[in-house]
Amino acid sequence: MKKSKVTFADIAEYTGFSKTTISRYFNNPDSLTLENQSKIAEALEALDYKENKLAKVLANGKTEIVGVVIPNLYMHYYSDILNQLISTYEKYGYKFIVFTGNENPDAERKCIAELLAYNIEGLIMLSHTIPSEELKSYNIPVVTIEREDKFVCSVNTDNYMGGVQAASLLVKSGCDIIVHVNGDLSEEVPAFGRIKGFREFCESSGIEHRVILTDLGKNFEENHDRILRLYNELEETYPDKNVGVFMPNDTHANILLNIIFRQYGRLPEKYCIIGFDNSPISREAIIPISTIGQQVSVMADSAMELLVMQINERRKRKPTQIHEPVHKVITPILINRETTHLGRIR
Amino acid sequence: MKKSKVTFADIAEYTGFSKTTISRYFNNPDSLTLENQSKIAEALEALDYKENKLAKVLANGKTEIVGVVIPNLYMHYYSDILNQLISTYEKYGYKFIVFTGNENPDAERKCIAELLAYNIEGLIMLSHTIPSEELKSYNIPVVTIEREDKFVCSVNTDNYMGGVQAASLLVKSGCDIIVHVNGDLSEEVPAFGRIKGFREFCESSGIEHRVILTDLGKNFEENHDRILRLYNELEETYPDKNVGVFMPNDTHANILLNIIFRQYGRLPEKYCIIGFDNSPISREAIIPISTIGQQVSVMADSAMELLVMQINERRKRKPTQIHEPVHKVITPILINRETTHLGRIR
């Protein structure tokens, strides 16, 4: 029967090197000659040595594990980001322990405590209940994505530009009045930039506009009820105008589109709709929805790059403290489909 | 300045116990009296001791980590299952390292090797490229979900019953001919049961039916082209019949619904559609799609229960080998919405 665990002693015996040399091979291979490195490598193969990462971790502190805390995986945007983060394994070699926080700060703190107990090398936060000042106090590399990020490094979409792009497309599509619907967001949240970009574009170009900041609810039924009410109000208020609506995301844009489409059997010329994210629902809707696309794979890659930079800095003998957090901003992409007139004419 | 790491020696000094006693507290607490346990617990709090899970793991072998390999997170079904698995943390305490395999067996083998190097306690496989015989050979607790499972424990939906439920609803909805579209699946894949259930129900009840086994493509554009061709063929072949179509999943059911709805401005009486999974798209479609719901949260919980059972068995001094793998089957739920006549009448 094959011996179940090959030890350093076995490798030493097989190669004739000391156990110290074998240990150096694993923890500081460059301290051995190339010839000796390859002798040991051959021995590992001959002995069918199974690497024990955990033992290695205790020796050099590199777990190669990154913790990820997301609010949920129901919203397609989060599962998209997570998918792209996990795909960076090929490039960066980091593994991911994933938690969902479910919008509960105490649950999220418990998750983070668990992650710290596993000596994670860094933390990527999509959940937004824990302030960045607290995240900074954990004293490990942190990158946040699309949430409040004052005290830590972050990757966000250029939401301001997204707001400008959306408003500009609605105007070019011939709308008389353009409306932006969003949550009543704090100015510290990156998505607030959309409201600002939309408003400032309209004000500087003298375009009739309206910003409706309201909670659209937490599930499909609530979303549907509130967007139906919103639609009825728009119908009553602007019976003779072409109305362009910029919704906070594609899920909500799809609900509005369905309400109008069921009413008319099509999307009438009177209405234009634009969403945000470019999530699959925007393509799979009754007609393809124009949207502001977040470059999710670029965001995931940038987040890992920023995290690995911090991790590597810490490994240096004399780490340079990064005093100012780095905030990377990714340009969104305007995707012109059939719910805006320019897309319909095509 | 606070000392960064509290050691066993510090705890021993603070409590007056020996280091051996402190070590026993962590690795075999029941060997101490309750009084001594609580003295040490108080000391840990006073000293602000941070648990080092990795050190503990080397002592007792319990990493509390489960590996998960999924094909991708684009399909809403997979992100739904992953969400539910991660949520079992509250109940079972296991953390998840997640990989996506991207339908590449060598990439999946590399992921599994990585996971084994982290001494994971068990493996949950949704990816389907590696045969269950190979999974068994890794000699760790394994549970598969909705894939070939001959040699390992598994959790699957009762696909046969799902096929019967779908056929039966289409017949009750007054369809003259009922059609099931699916991939050309191997008999070893659980989803093959749907085809079997559909066919046997129709044959035993003498119902005119057709099974179309064809590859619908790997992305939205391919899906759309092939489903459009399929729809045109149905229109030509059955101009005067009421046609009921059972699609392989809700994503594909939604594409068919949109094609018909755009053609007619509504879903005409002539057509009934039923999907599979009860994924969000089935609710968010232009009209709510009838579907066979997989009980995803029950499946995730059952998978963990089955995995934990195997893990606990291994920890016993004299483990009983589980010779026959356990296959749990979860009943699907018929969800009657507006794309079948019974739902429309409501």
* CATH number for the domain harbouring residue B170: 3.40.50.2300
| CA dihedral sign, ordered A198, A199, A205, A208 | positive
pLDDT for the residue numbered B199: 97
B253 part of a folded domain: yes
A-chain residues within 8 Å CB-CB of B285?
A: 258, 286
* One domain for residues B54 and B134: no
Task: Please check the confidence at residue B295 and state whether its pLDDT lies above 80.
Answer: yes
Rounded to an integer, what is the distance from CA B93 to the centroid of its chain? 18
Q: Is residue A2 part of a domain?
A: no
> Could you give the angle at which helices A159-172 and A192-205 cross, rounded to 10 degrees?
40
Q: Which residues of A touch B52 (CB under 8 A)?
A: 117, 119
Q: Residue B272 pairs with which residues in a beta bridge? A: B244
* pLDDT, greater one: B276 or B23: B276
Alpha-carbon distances of B222 from B27, B85, B225, B228, B261, rounded to whole Å: 56, 31, 5, 10, 19
**pLDDT tens digits, A241-268:** 999 999 999 999 999 999 999 999 999 9
Vertex A148 angle, CA A145 and A149, to 5°:
75
The strand pairing partners of B273, in sequence order, are B245
Q: Are residues A75 and A207 in the same domain?
A: no
Choose the closest CB to A117 out of B53, B73, B86. Answer: B53
> Is residue A306 included in any domain, yes or no?
yes
Q: Of A49, A75, A54, A205, which is closest to residue A128 (Cα–Cα)? A: A75
Residue B140 has a pLDDT of: 93
A89–B284 C-beta distance less than 8 A: no
What residues form DSSP beta bridges with B143?
Answer: B124, B153
With a cut of 50, say whether residue A282 has pLDDT above it.
yes
Asked if B269 and B302 sit in the same domain, the reply is: no
Average pLDDT estimate for A99-114: 89
Same domain, A133 and A226: no
Contact: A53, B117; criterion CB under 8 Å: yes
Query: Does any domain span residue B3?
Result: no
* Per-residue pLDDT reduced to its tens digit, A147-197: 999 999 999 999 999 999 999 999 999 999 999 999 999 999 999 999 999
pLDDT of residue B69 exceeding 60:
yes
The per-residue pLDDT for range A132-149, each reduced to its tens digit, is 999 999 989 999 999 999
Whether B234 and B106 map to the same domain: the answer is no
Supply the range of the domain harboring residue B208: 159-294+333-345
Return the residue of A nearest to B99 by Cα. Answer: A86
What pLDDT, on the 0 to 100 scale, is given for residue B344?
55
DSSP result, A194-238:
HHHHHHHHHHHHT--EEEEE----SSHHHHHHHHHHHHHHHHHH-
Residues of chain A positioned with their CB less than 8 A from the CB of B97: 65, 95-97
Q: What percent of chain B has pLDDT over 90?
A: 67
Using the Cβ of A1 and the Cβ atoms of chain B, whether some distance falls under 8 Å is answered with no
Out of B96, B119, B251, name the one closest to residue A97 (CB).
Answer: B96
Give the C-alpha separation, A197 to A329, whole Å: 15
Q: Which amino acid is at A337?
A: R
Task: Look at residue B59 in the predicted model and tell me its pLDDT.
Answer: 63
- The total domain count for chain A is 3
Q: A289 and A140, same structural domain? A: no
- DSSP-derived pairing of the beta strands B122-125 and B65-70: parallel
Residue B2 lies in a domain: no
Q: Do B51 and A87 touch (CB under 8 A)?
A: no
Please tell me the predicted confidence (pLDDT) of residue A291.
Answer: 97
- Residue B153 lies inside a defined structural domain of this protein: yes
Kindly state whether residues A111 and A164 are assigned to the same domain.
no
Domain end position, chosen among B60, B79, B101:
B60
Please tell me whether residues A164 and A226 are part of one structural domain. Answer: yes
Same domain, B168 and B153: no
Which residues 90-129 in chain A show a CB within 8 A of chain B? Answer: 95-100, 102, 114, 116-119
| R_g over Cα of chain A | 26
Answer with the one of A60, A82, A100 that is the final residue of a domain. A60
Q: How far apart are CA A329 and CA A157, in angstroms?
A: 5
Q: Which two tokens stand for residue A8?
A: 């350093």
pLDDT at A58: 62
A50: chain B residues, CB-CB within 8 Å: 116-117
Mean pLDDT of B131-158: 96
The chain B residue lying nearest A101, using CA atoms, is B87
Which amino acid, one-letter code, is at A335?
Answer: I
Asked if the Cβ–Cβ distance from A97 to B99 is below 8 Å, we say no
> Which residue did the predictor score with more confidence, B164 or B314?
B164
Find the range with the poorest average confidence among A218-222, B84-88, B89-93, B336-340.
A218-222
d(CA B177, CA B197): 16
- B322 with B310: CB under 8 angstroms? yes
Q: Are A255 and A230 in contact, with CB atoms under 8 Å apart?
A: no
Confidence of residue A5 (pLDDT cuts 50, 70, 90): low
B265 and chain A in contact, CB less than 8 A: yes
Considering only the beta carbons, identify the residue of A54, A86, A118 that sits closest to B99: A86
Residues B175, B234, single domain; the answer is yes
- B165-224 residues touching A, CB cutoff 8 A: 220
- Shared domain for B203 and B224, answered yes or no, is yes
Q: Is residue A93 part of a domain?
A: yes
Tell me the ipTM for this assembly. 0.79
pLDDT for position A40: 86
- Enumerate residues 30 to 69 of chain B having a beta carbon within 8 A of any beta carbon in chain A: 50-55, 57-58, 63, 65
Residue A1 lies in a domain: no
* A133 in the same domain as A109: yes
User: Of the candidates A52, A100, A286, which has its C-beta nearest B117's C-beta?
Assistant: A52
